[in-house]
């Protein structure tokens, strides 16, 4: 990266991100020498909006001034699919997989070094079988058995409890279909997509603070997020609303898990209704169709989690019967056979996907998928060429949070062992960035050019756009504004 951009103003520098102090409102801000929509401009910001945009503007009294030095000013990025509370919890949890932990002895040492939380539990995340095989309660007991331990698989679909944890939550008497049982009927300690059941039986605790998450997102240039957690509880809704209202989470917030019947102008804003098609047990066709119809009846589109060809086929068949609704979308769409593409387009579906998984663990996907299906993995380029709106996202904490890492993955399609997963699915850097610039309410739609009246959700880069796109990196994010307020400033 070049070192051409000067530091931020003294006022911004005094409130640097990470200081623990809000960066503060910048209601009167002038950005000079910025590249906007391909030309050099000065941009005046007032009351959360772009007031003026011209080749040159005089500085007004009491106006903070920033020299962009030719750096690009672009709309703020939107992460179209993540899980806020899980992400916050992950940041304070024990990392149980690569690169932090690579083998059984690493995991044993990490678990024994870990200090239990105030309830006496240890919470681990990002486990993968390459570390110590397919863990169950017995296997986890051999690693640490003196305190309750729960470890989440890095996919987010599986929790493994040791015997103390299983006893503490009453696993033997549990009735959730996600509780895995041995032929004898005894639980194995493995819970598949049973988060709600498990959460209700864990020691009562308040949701984690989203302050660190908000700051990290701002550092990456993210000004809006879509929380994809399904069926949010009333407590979770209240905490998310409080975090947004207090500024703990400064990003604009759309919720896929807001209950059906939530008024459209509620804050945080309800998005499409999230439906999870679990790999471990697909729902009955009529039940799925009824759920889609119920969401549409409430004026809500649907956002259907699908990661297999079978779940995609079921989703498309259900939408064919129920009829599609503007804004219906597929989450992940990890496997999209070629024959499904015309159906997606006919139904007007959008796709929110995560090529960052390829950079994170794409070699596992290639190894676990028949070679004939490799071209279908996390399609991107084919979707755009087919006229299907495409948006990118992180699925954090289960995928890389940094959008610039996801953009690089979308353009290279490289997996950790150096292979290329589906070279025909590569995006250009411009396409990858655009897939992060669409509004949360309309993923995959073209973003609006910056102009007077535009909301001041903005990212100032340290370089002109064409130069920055040759090496996408979060290090290029010099300034992040949300509603005209500076939430990240790099000196």
pTM (predicted TM-score) = 0.89
Instruction: Name residue 332's beta-bridge partners.
Output: 306
Instruction: Answer for the pair 381, 425: CB distance below 8 angstroms, yes or no.
Output: yes
Q: What is the pLDDT of residue 23?
A: 52
**What is the CA angle 400-403-407, rounded to 5?**
100
Domains parsed from the chain with CATH numbers: 1-76+457-491 (2.30.40.10), 79-83+208-449 (3.20.20.140), 93-201 (3.10.310.70)
The whole-angstrom separation of Cα 293 and Cα 286 is: 10
Q: How are the residues of the chain apportioned to helix, strand and coil, as percentages rounded to the nearest 5?
A: 35, 25, 45
Instruction: Answer for the pair 479, 460: CB distance below 8 angstroms, yes or no.
Output: yes
pLDDT in tens, the chain (491 residues): 333 333 333 333 333 333 222 355 556 899 999 999 999 999 999 999 999 999 999 999 888 999 999 999 999 999 999 999 999 999 999 999 998 999 999 999 999 999 999 999 999 999 999 999 999 999 999 999 999 999 999 989 999 999 999 999 999 999 999 999 999 999 999 999 999 899 999 998 888 999 999 999 999 999 999 999 999 999 999 999 999 999 999 999 999 999 999 888 888 999 999 999 987 788 999 999 999 999 999 999 999 999 999 999 999 999 999 999 999 999 999 999 999 999 999 999 999 999 999 999 999 899 989 999 999 999 999 999 999 999 999 999 999 999 999 999 999 999 999 999 999 999 999 999 999 999 999 999 999 899 999 999 999 999 999 999 999 999 999 999 999 999 999 86
Q: Which residues of 276-307 are buried (b: 16+ CB within 10 A; e: fewer)?
A: bbbbeebbeeeebbebbbebbeeebbbbbbbb
Measuring CA to CA, which residue among 183, 191, 144 is closest to residue 163? 144
Handedness of CA 399, 374, 157, 361 (dihedral sign): negative
Q: What is the pLDDT of residue 22?
A: 33
Helices 429-437 + 403-412 axis angle, to 10: 140
Peptide bond into 268 cis (omega under 30): yes
327-355 tens-digit pLDDT = 999 999 999 999 999 999 999 999 999 99
Pairing status of strand 269-270 against strand 222-227: unpaired
DSSP 443: T
Distances (CA, A) of 129 to 85, 96, 123, 282, 444: 25, 10, 17, 24, 35
């Amino acid at each position: 990266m070049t070192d051409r951009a000067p530091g931020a103003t003294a006022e911004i520098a005094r409130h640097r991100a990470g200081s623990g102090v809000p960066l503060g409102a910048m209601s009167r801000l002038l950005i000079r020498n910025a590249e906007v929509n391909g030309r050099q401009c000065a941009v005046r910001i007032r009351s959360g909006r772009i007031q003026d945009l011209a080749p040159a503007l005089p500085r007004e009294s009491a106006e903070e001034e920033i020299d962009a030095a030719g750096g690009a000013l672009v709309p703020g990025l939107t992460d179209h699919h993540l899980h806020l509370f899980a992400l916050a919890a992950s940041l304070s949890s024990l990392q149980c997989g690569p690169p932090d932990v690579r083998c059984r002895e690493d995991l044993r040492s990490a678990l024994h070094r870990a200090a239990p939380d105030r309830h006496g539990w240890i919470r681990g995340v990002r486990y993968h079988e390459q570390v110590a095989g397919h863990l169950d309660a017995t296997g986890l007991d051999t690693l640490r058995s003196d305190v309750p331990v729960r470890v989440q698989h890095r996919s987010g679909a599986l929790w493994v409890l040791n015997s103390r944890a299983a006893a503490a939550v009453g696993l033997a008497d549990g009735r959730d279909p996600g509780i895995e049982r041995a032929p004898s009927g005894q639980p194995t300690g493995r819970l598949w997509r049973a988060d709600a059941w498990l959460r209700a039986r864990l020691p009562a605790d308040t949701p984690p603070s989203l302050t660190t998450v908000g700051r990290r997102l701002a550092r990456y240039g993210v000004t809006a997020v879509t929380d994809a957690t399904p069926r949010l509880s009333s407590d979770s809704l209240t905490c998310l609303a409080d975090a947004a209202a207090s500024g703990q989470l400064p990003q604009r917030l759309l919720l896929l898990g807001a209950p059906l019947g939530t008024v459209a102008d509620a804050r945080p804003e309800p998005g499409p209704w999230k439906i999870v098609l679990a790999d471990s047990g697909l729902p009955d066709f009529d039940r799925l169709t009824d759920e889609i119809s119920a969401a549409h009846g409430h004026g809500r589109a649907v956002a259907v989690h699908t990661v297999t060809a079978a779940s995609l086929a079921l989703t498309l068949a259900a939408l064919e019967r129920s009829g599609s609704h503007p804004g219906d979308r597929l989450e992940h769409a990890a496997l999209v056979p070629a024959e499904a593409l015309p159906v997606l387009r006919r139904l007007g579906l959008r796709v929110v996907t995560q090529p960052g998984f390829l950079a994170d663990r794409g070699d596992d996907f290639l190894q676990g998928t028949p070679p004939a299906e490799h071209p279908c993995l996390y399609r991107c380029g084919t979707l755009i060429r087919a006229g299907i709106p495409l948006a990118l996202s992180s699925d954090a904490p289960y995928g890389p949070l940094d959008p610039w890492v996801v953009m690089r993955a979308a353009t290279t399609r490289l997996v950790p062992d150096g292979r290329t997963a589906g070279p025909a699915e590569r995006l250009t850097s411009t396409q990858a960035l655009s897939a992060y610039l669409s509004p949360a309410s309309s993923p995959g739609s073209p973003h609006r050019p910056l102009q007077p009246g535009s909301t001041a959700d903005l990212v100032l880069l340290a370089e002109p756009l064409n130069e920055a796109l040759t090496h996408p990196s979060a290090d290029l994010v010099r300034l992040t504004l949300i509603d005209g307020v500076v939430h990240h400033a790099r000196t």
